[in-house]
Structure 1
Amino acid sequence: MPPKRKANGRTTRGVDGAATASTSPDRKSSRVADRSDAKPSPGCTPALEAYTLHSLAKPIAFRTSQASLATFFKAGTGKSKDSVKDTNPVATAEGDNPADGIEWLRAGSLILGLHGSPKSSGKVAFFDLDQTLITVKGNHRFSKNADDWQWLFKDVPERLRKLHSEGYKIVIITNQMGLRKAFDKGNTKGFTQFTIFRDKLNQVAASLQLPFQLLGAIAPDLYRKPNGGMFHFFTYYLNDGVPARLADSFYVGDAAGRANHWKPGVKADHSDCDRKFAANLGLPFQTPEEHFRGEAPADYQYPGEFDPSTFPAPPLSLTSDGPGSDTTSGTYPRCCTAETLKLRSGDSPEVIVAVGFPASGKSTLACRVIEPAGYVYVNQDTLRTRAKCVEAVRAALAAGRSVIVDNTNPEAATRAHYIDLARAAGCPVRCLHFTAPLAVARHNSRFRAYGRLEPREFIVRNALAAELDHLEELPTTIPMVVFHTFNSRLEPPTADEGFSEVLPLNFHLHPEYWGAEAPTMLAKWRCWHE
């Protein structure tokens, strides 16, 4: 178990939010900087900067009824719309009037709630929503209806108004996976959940009487905290091109990794994604108790053994008992190269069988080191069936070529197919056992799917991939069941199976594989992705 961390004792990295300036045109509107619906013509490949908020985000259609209008003004002490407009002096400043309600938009897997016309600012007060600003009326976890909410602390509205008067822009950043099904066609029940969410937020807005913006992630992708996608969307499209000054801004959230009984009688936090979100971006972080109550920071810890920010920096290397290593000093060869792996020349073929979790480094090594050395690359994701993989190995050996089999190959029975082919061809067969643990493989899967993308590229592709042919479909993460299936079926490879050698490979970062992009990619890899 890793040691507990003292609150505020961790240095934030600020790598995910480093390049956040927007190049959006500086055109004012009633709610946001750019209301243009202009969209680049299909068939071309426009610059990402050409897209605007309203070419990416579309209004969410609702049926407006007298009941929903009544819900909006319920928290406004029963006053009419016109009378509510003038009740709060903070909200009546030019351009700030929030009385027109919340405008709801959707940009792919992101929902937006735009209330009033908040002015752009480099000082931004970011808040989580549930258990940070509001909570339910009772001990249950989720709201039962639109009326099932209350301020977490009575002075939350007063505190938000004070921040607003000090020049802070109020922005809510919230994970809302429960609303994902609301946008599936024909899912009436799911959309009912979103309607409850909308009506609840309308009540919150009417009670608060301040302009604010809400961003809600409804899918497990770059938008979902701890990833920084919502922060980047805000910077590109919701703040008139003004980047948030990290030193003058902050984030408040309840998912802080505090252990059970961090306060007498209080359960452990359900997550640590809020603290990780702030760490990824370099934002100062506080819990609701610290921010609203002035309580001292509580100790916290990240669960498990894996922390990408402190993961060993040496490159992908052989373990200490592999060839080319110094077992006395514990040093490793600089990376796995054709020389350290002792790859064979064309006149002396061999078979190499990879074993390891998905996203454990197999394909990187196979494609960047082994295949360029003249080995035939065999992969079931490409060939689709094991039978075709076996046939490809057979054909390569018949042609006198060496082969790298880049599959997970967890079972001895599967590996036996390739061992038998090598024996029949009279050539040796080796095994590369990639030993990356589950946590590292899961992290790599998320990084590979969306963590390495430029945020603006993800935003545009996420919103428009279904509409524009020139935008490729975004990659997806590997389902957790795939990792568990591999783990349950794994029979660690041994020489007794017929391998001439079994080389265990640790997973280490190898910046040279990224070339000139290494500093940027390494910084992104070191961010939390779950």
Structure 2
Amino acid sequence: MIKTRIPHARTHIRFIISREYRKIRFAYVTMPSPKAAEAKPSAKRKNDSISPPPLLKRKAQSSISKNAVANFFTPTSQKSKERTNWSERAPDDDTPATLLVARYKPENAEGPEQRRRRKIAAFDLDSTLITTASGKTHANDPNDWKWWDSSVPTKLRQLYTEDDYRVVILSNQAGLTLHPDPKSKAPKNLGKDRLANFKQKCSAVLTKLDLPTAIYAATGKDIYRKPRPGMWRALCEDYNISEADVDLENSIFVGDAGGRTAQLKKGESGSATVKDFSCSDRNFAHNVGITYKTPEEFFLCEKPREFTRDFDLANHPYPEHGEDGTGDIIFEKKTKQEIVLFCGPPGGGKSTFYWKYLKPLGYERVNQDTLKTRAKCFKATGDLLNGGHSVAIDNTNPDPDGRAEWIKFAEKHKVPIRCVWFKASQELCEHNAAVRALNKPLNPEAREALPKIAFSGFFSRFKEPKVKEGFGDVVEVEFKFRGTEAEYAIWGRYWN
């Protein structure tokens, strides 16, 4: 039994902690003052028999844990230090931070590591290094985790201590928000709680692993999100090694998003492994130029499974015809003054086509993204026609009803109208839009990223344009990359 007295006037507080540290009791004990002890005893008053009042005699139990009490009595010099250091990064100076970084330093590695490791072993986090202990798909409890396989920590330590690898963790965490929008109607504490839980879980994982390593968590849909290369660039910068100096041939990325197709298990009727939710991890490894493996292949030595990509760059190699790939397109201006109506999805190559082929022929451009309303597009087109110009209508125009308005407009101004139909899949258009939004050299008009509904909305309304609608002709343009080799080096990566 430990007893501590805290003097306060004539009343002392006794702090009592049982040996088992299970209960903490506060008791008020009335002590006589020194003068009163020396004085002769006098007759007691009735109120003297009650000290303190009955209400204060109740025992108060505390939920303080044994570890907390032990830590209270541990000298500061003997307390363990926090080994995980947290920081944030922003994709540019005008954007809030979206990349969360946890750097871990073991207790026996106080000084900075001088040697730069050229081989990098990078891993996804969830469903690759760890999984939920409860069996839930997503855990709300930061303690609800276990190693994906018992071999994981041993294998990672071997990579670092024996094989001379830099071991890092790269994870997409779109459910986290580092800087919530003050105008958002979502509960204010929800984002804070999720972030705190994630940090607690990561600290526990890093402590168990106990290696000089780091976790990079991409919380936004920007350059840091896999398969985009932002996290790779960040880790190279943090560890003071240029991307050109990395031993790409021997480096590796391990993650569960490999685009694997569903597969029946042998010998088990009706049993199947489900397909992967995406191919982002495999595509990330492709972008960086390193080997990719699934957790089953890397930790369990299983054979690779079949996989597929919704959008495959192998189907879009750099064109061999012409230095900039423009040799296969011939567009002729047929009359002195005319309207050319574009029909195609966002990201289908309409604006690029205008600048490369129609602008040199003297066509002026009308674009609703710039003018904002359809009415303003009609007015601008009328003004240009009155000035003697030919005009290209750079809008999507997916359905016959919308195109009919432009056909009537052309008839009113007594000029012919032609249609250029841009043929491209939704996946290809989403790729093009992402490339444009995330790479300033290919985005002269500073276009922003488009939501998925912008693409699905077009394809749900799209009807193939026909000459019988009233067009002089319909020119079909199959999408091909048309640009320089340097531009293809950017375009020819996975961005979604």
Q: Which residue of 2 aligns with 1:311?
A: 316
Q: Which residue of 2 aligns with 1:397?
A: 385
Match of 2:172 among 158, 172, 175: 175
- The DSSP-based 3-state class of the residue aligned with 1:360 is coil
**What is the CA-CA distance between 1:262 and the residue it aligns to?**
6.6
Q: Which residue of 1 aligns with 2:249?
A: 247
Deviations 1:210-264 (A, max 9, x none): 1111111111122111111110111123335574211232111111122223755
Higher RCO structure, 1 or 2 (CA under 8 Å, sep 6+): 1
| Structure exhibiting the larger radius of gyration computed from Cα positions | 2
Q: Which deviates the most, 382-391 or 412-421?
A: 412-421
Distance 1:177 1:375 in 2: 43
Q: Which residue of 2 aligns with 1:502?
A: 474
Q: Which residue of 2 aligns with 1:372?
A: 360
Q: Which residue of 2 aligns with 1:215?
A: 216
Distance 1:284 1:497 in 2: 52
Match of 1:102 among 84, 88, 91: 84
**What is the CA-CA distance between 1:418 and the residue it aligns to?**
2.3
Distance 1:383 1:315 in 2: 37
Distance 2:441 2:331 in 1: 31
Paired AA for residue 210 in structure 2 = Q
Q: Which residue of 2 aligns with 1:416?
A: 404
Distance 2:77 2:258 in 1: 41
Distance 2:405 2:275 in 1: 49
- The DSSP-based 3-state class of the residue aligned with 2:236 is helix
**What is the CA-CA distance between 1:484 and the residue it aligns to?**
1.6
Change (3 A) 1:333 1:223: closer
Q: Which residue of 1 aligns with 2:275?
A: 268
2:422 maps to 1:434: yes
Q: Which residue of 1 aligns with 2:38?
A: none
Distance 2:166 2:126 in 1: 19
Distance 2:241 2:429 in 1: 39
1:115-514 pair list within 5 angstroms = 115-116=104-105, 120-166=116-162, 167-180=164-177, 183-185=180-182, 187-239=188-240, 241=242, 243-261=245-263, 265-296=272-303, 298-304=304-310, 306-311=311-316, 313-314=318-319, 334-336=327-329, 340-344=330-334, 348-451=336-439, 475-511=447-483
Paired AA for residue 229 in structure 1 = G
Q: Which deviates the most, 208-217 or 417-426?
A: 417-426
Q: Structure 1 runs of 4+ off > 6 angstroms?
A: 79-85
Paired AA for residue 333 in structure 2 = L
Change (3 A) 1:184 1:493: same
- The DSSP-based 3-state class of the residue aligned with 1:246 is coil
**What is the CA-CA distance between 1:426 and the residue it aligns to?**
2.5
Distance 2:423 2:208 in 1: 54
Deviations 1:304-334 (A, max 9, x none): 3x312332544899xxxxxxxxxxxxxx982
Tell me if the contact between 2:251 and 2:291 (Cα under 8 Å) persists in the aligned partners.
yes
Change (3 A) 1:365 1:81: farther
**What is the CA-CA distance between 1:286 and the residue it aligns to?**
1.6
Distance 1:508 1:438 in 2: 14
Q: Which residue of 2 aligns with 1:526?
A: 492
Tell me if the contact between 2:366 and 2:392 (Cα under 8 Å) persists in the aligned partners.
yes
TM score, norm. by length of structure 1 = 0.70
- The DSSP-based 3-state class of the residue aligned with 2:273 is coil
Change (3 A) 1:122 1:84: farther
Tell me if the contact between 1:309 and 1:527 (Cα under 8 Å) persists in the aligned partners.
no
Distance 2:314 2:134 in 1: 38
- The DSSP-based 3-state class of the residue aligned with 2:101 is strand
Distance 1:122 1:203 in 2: 27
Distance 1:398 1:504 in 2: 29
2:110 maps to 1:113: no
TM score, norm. by length of structure 2 = 0.74
Paired AA for residue 111 in structure 1 = L
Distance 2:152 2:169 in 1: 14
**What is the CA-CA distance between 1:396 and the residue it aligns to?**
1.7
Paired AA for residue 223 in structure 2 = L
Instruction: Count residues in correspondence.
Output: 403
Change (3 A) 1:527 1:269: same
Deviations 1:338-390 (A, max 9, x none): xx211157xx1011000000110110111222123211211111111111111
**What is the CA-CA distance between 1:83 and the residue it aligns to?**
7.9
More strand by share: 2
Change (3 A) 1:312 1:423: farther
- The DSSP-based 3-state class of the residue aligned with 1:448 is helix
Tell me if the contact between 1:125 and 1:250 (Cα under 8 Å) persists in the aligned partners.
yes
Paired AA for residue 384 in structure 1 = K
Tell me if the contact between 1:182 and 1:188 (Cα under 8 Å) persists in the aligned partners.
no
Deviations 1:419-456 (A, max 9, x none): 223223332110001111111111101111115669xx
- The DSSP-based 3-state class of the residue aligned with 2:475 is strand
Distance 1:474 1:293 in 2: 46
Tell me if the contact between 2:367 and 2:377 (Cα under 8 Å) persists in the aligned partners.
yes
Tell me if the contact between 2:434 and 2:449 (Cα under 8 Å) persists in the aligned partners.
yes
Distance 1:80 1:295 in 2: 50
Distance 1:83 1:416 in 2: 80
- The DSSP-based 3-state class of the residue aligned with 1:143 is coil
**What is the CA-CA distance between 1:82 and the residue it aligns to?**
7.8
Change (3 A) 1:183 1:437: same
> Sequence identity of aligned pairs in percent?
33
Deviations 1:479-508 (A, max 9, x none): 111112212222321112211111111101
Distance 1:115 1:84 in 2: 18
Paired AA for residue 502 in structure 1 = V
Tell me if the contact between 2:440 and 2:446 (Cα under 8 Å) persists in the aligned partners.
no
RMSD across aligned positions (CA): 3.2
Paired AA for residue 481 in structure 1 = I
Tell me if the contact between 2:166 and 2:213 (Cα under 8 Å) persists in the aligned partners.
yes
Change (3 A) 1:67 1:520: farther
